[in-house]
């Protein structure tokens, strides 16, 4: 391998290390706050690797952040998410349910 390619590989490793650090911090539990529909729907708790959630970004290629609502998270546990919802969104109390991704 040529020296330049080794430098390129080194730079890639540093790049992926940075990406990994960001994504590791984005691990955890999320919920989607959808203001227009929030009273008529169950609020699902997702984990970061769920296809719906994808680290709080929504479905890849389909999501338009902020258009209908926002992902809120990550939370270190379902209990901390539930506590946050109860403290900040009392009208969602009792509407939380687990997505299939964490059942
Ligand atoms: Zn999910």
Residue 54's DSSP bridge partners are none
Cα of 30 from ligand 1 centre, angstroms:
9
Cα of 4 from ligand 1 centre, angstroms:
43
Q: What percent of the chain has pLDDT over 90?
A: 67
Locate 54 and state its tokens. Answer: 């994808």
Whether the predicted pLDDT of 71 surpasses 80: yes
Whether the predicted pLDDT of 38 surpasses 60: no
Comparing CA positions, the residue from 35, 44, 92, 31 lying closest to residue 67 is 35
Q: How close are the terminal C-alpha atoms of the chain, in Å? A: 47
Cα of 64 from ligand 1 centre, angstroms:
18
Cα of 56 from ligand 1 centre, angstroms:
10
Cα of 14 from ligand 1 centre, angstroms:
31
- pLDDT digits 0-9 by tens, 8-35: 999 999 999 999 999 999 999 999 988 7
- pLDDT tier, 36 (very low <50, low <70, confident <90, very high otherwise): low
**pTM recorded for the entire structure:** 0.84
Q: Where are the domains of the chain?
A: 2-98
């Amino acid at each position: 391998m040529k020296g330049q390619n080794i430098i390129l590989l080194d730079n890639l490793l540093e790049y992926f290390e940075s990406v990994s650090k960001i994504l590791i911090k984005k691990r955890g539990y999320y919920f989607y706050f959808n203001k227009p529909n929030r009273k008529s729907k169950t609020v699902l708790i997702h984990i970061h690797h769920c296809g719906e959630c994808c680290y709080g970004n929504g479905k890849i290629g389909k999501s338009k952040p902020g258009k209908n609502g926002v992902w809120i998270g990550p939370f270190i546990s379902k209990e901390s998410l539930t506590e946050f919802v109860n403290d900040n969104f009392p009208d969602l109390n009792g509407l939380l349910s687990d997505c299939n991704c964490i059942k």
